[in-house]
Structure 1
Amino acid sequence: MKETRVYKQTGTCSIQADIYYQGPRTPVIIYIHSGALIFGTREWLPVEQIEYFTSCGFSLVNIDYRLAPETKFEWIIEDIRDAIHWVRTDATQWYDFDIKRIAVIGGSAGGYLSLLTGTMDYKPNVIVSFYGYGDILGDWYAQPSEFYCAKPLVDRANAINRIGNVEITSGTWDRFDYYVYCRQQGKWVQEVTKMDPILDEEKLKQYNPIDNITEEYPPTLFLHGNQDTDVPYKQSTIMYEKLKSMGIQTELITIEGADHVFDHHFTEPQVQLAFKQLVNFLKVHLYT
């Protein structure tokens, strides 16, 4: 059964999470949705994945967060930090989670935010990144995307028309045009963070997972299709190699021939195997 609660209240937003509680002392997964920090909603998490995780004995907390560009980039990061804090503190008045066994899982931008939690004061015990990225300062985001430039051009006027001036926690698909504009122009960093990749490089590095790995970084699993047209496969391999070089427990599952959002093809044998490996990774590192 699902219960929906507000995990954070701001001046303009009630930020919600769906909780699938599986009983006392169960380990908990915090799930962070995709959408380039611009669009998306917690409702995107497929039912098949919810049922799979819960049937494996995990309680699940599926969160929303405020979206860019209406919300400051730093405040989006705060929402993720506050969600982890809520699970560890306030949520325990309703749910007897095992708060010493917390995993954070996310896809794409949610994968980026998941990787960023490994650099926070309150780190999860395990991180899983589906086709996420650990380097927002790389050329893949700072230069026009060949894949998106092959699509019909979105001019700035039409892009801006897709967004508003009021903070939101759920972004519809029409906002995708704004993302396409960002990728065609190579301006995601400027548009989403309101910072310049060169002039504000040192500040941006605070939010760049690959620049903030320490020996305390949690065990991390990467899952990525090697034919990803949105987030380069290399974004997982470079994080994986960096963690491995620092002695962090990490694994990389390559989905051969797969594009972005491969996990939504849940019944495919390669994806089924990957989820079995994922759950095994969680159990190994949450219970040792």
Structure 2
Amino acid sequence: MQEIVMAYENKTAFPIKATFHRAAENRKNVSILYLHGGGMVFGTKDDLPKAYIELILENGYDLLMLDYLLAPESNLEEMITTLELTINNFTNDTYKEIGLTTPRYLLFGRSAGSFLALLAAKRKNIMRPAGLILFYGYYNLAESSFSAPAPYYLKIPKVEEAVASAIAGNTPLTYGPIQKRFALYLFARQTGNWLSLLAPKNTAVDLKKYSLSLDDLKELPPAFLAASPFDYDVPFEMSKTMAETIPSAHLYIAKNAEHDFDRNPNDIMAIEAYHRMLSWMQEKLKYESVTTNSRPARMSI
């Protein structure tokens, strides 16, 4: 394991840390760039259980676990712009600096991380990922449940506005442990004001700009999806629609499970999802070569 800091030519960009795990055997020469969940409000890059990390490495894939900017200290435009810089940094320079021979990569996101992976994959100024791994993700911020009080979270004791306001800071942040930040997300979902946390100050989120259309989904690289029909946080229908629309997509359905059904690697469905994911990658990546990328590895930012 190696912690690195992504260095940008733009000196004003907020430095992003990453944890790199290198596969020792059976190397595929493909990196998985991981984005954590947390509603873009909380979460940390190193939240992926050790069992999954070991499984990924044993199958020959390198793993780069990325920080990203969190709301409301940063808005969605700042998040995705910085994420673009981070991905371009990896494909242009960092892959060589950490001893890799190719910048070929997949984007792996859980929940909000899936959403950010989709936004990044939609952009034209980054190297096209070889594939996407989307666990209980979403692609459309115009989903009605995102802007209304969430029934599941209303069952939890109410978070007072003063408590939530005290959590939010004034400087950019990339590290948000659930113990310190979850109350802010809970307040936002209880009040239906989650999207306002993602918006620039005194404005609203441009839902169309920060969502993917069905046509956008049709242009994405192959994707492995995993979700539960009983998800209380993100509608399962969004994963189903993505699986039906993204070319060469496969959906693993975790029956009778919760939102983040893979949080416990000892759960049979959870570990099965990762085995299915790796089998899918082995099958799909056989037909993808570095030269098939439609976007060059180096682009000016």
TM-score by length of 2: 0.86
Give the direction of change, closer, same or farther, for the CA distance of 1:212–1:168 in structure 2 (3 Å limit): farther
What SS does the aligned partner of 2:156 have?
coil
Checking the alignment, whether the CA contact within 8 Å between 2:43 and 2:177 is kept in structure 1 is: yes
Give the superposed CA RMSD. 2.1
Q: Distance in 2 between matches of 1:55 and 1:90?
A: 25
CA contact (8 A) 1:131 1:233 kept: yes
> Identity of paired residues, percent?
27
Matched, 1:281 2:280: yes
SS at structure 2 position matched to 1:41: coil
Question: How far is 1:58 from its partner?
Answer: 0.2
On the 8 A contact 1:225/1:256 being kept in 2, the answer is yes
**1:110-163 Cα deviation digits (max 9, x unpaired):** 111122222112231100111111111111101110011111112322211111
Partner residue of 2:98?
94
2:130 — aligned with what?
125
After TM superposition, give the deviation of residue 74 of structure 1 in Å: 0.6
- 8 Å contact from structure 2 (residues 140, 210) kept in 1: no
Q: What's the TM-score, normalizing by structure 1?
A: 0.89
Checking the alignment, whether the CA contact within 8 Å between 1:34 and 1:109 is kept in structure 2 is yes
Contact 1:226 1:256 in 2 (8 A): yes
Paired residues in the alignment total: 279
Q: CA 1:55–1:90 in structure 2 vs 1: closer, same or farther (change >3 Å)?
A: same
Q: Which segment drifts farther, 257-266 or 52-61?
A: 257-266
Match of residue 253 from structure 1? 252
Q: For 1:174-253, list aligned pairs within 5 A.
A: 174-194=180-200, 203-210=206-213, 213=216, 215-243=218-246, 248-253=247-252
Separation of aligned partners in 1, 2:89 and 2:281: 21
Could you tell me whether the CA contact under 8 Å between 2:264 and 2:270 is conserved in 1?
yes
SS at match of 1:262: coil
SS at 1:165's partner residue? coil
Letter in 2 for 1:188: W
Partner of 1:76: 79
Question: Offset at 1:217?
Answer: 1.1
Decide which moves more: 23-32 or 38-47.
23-32
Residue 172 of structure 2 is aligned to residue 167 of structure 1: yes
2:45 to 42, 45, 52: 42
Q: What is the match of residue 290 of structure 2? A: none
Q: Does the CA contact (< 8 Å) of 1:28 and 1:97 recur in 2?
A: no
What is the CA–CA distance in structure 1 between the aligned matches of 2:154 and 2:215, rounded to whole Å?
32
- State the partner residue of 2:294: none
Report the counterpart of residue 21 of structure 1 in structure 2: 22
Structure 2: where are the runs of 5+ without partners? 288-301
Contact (CA 8 Å) 1:222, 1:240: kept in 2 or not?
A: yes
> Which amino acid in structure 2 is aligned with residue 133 of structure 1?
Y
Q: Answer whether contact 1:133 1:235 (CA < 8 A) is retained.
A: yes
Residue type at the aligned position of 1:165: N
In 2, distance between residues paired with 1:171 and 1:211?
32
Contact 1:73 1:192 in 2 (8 A): yes
Alpha-carbon contact 2:153-2:186 (below 8 Å) kept: yes
- 1:265 and 2:264 matched: yes
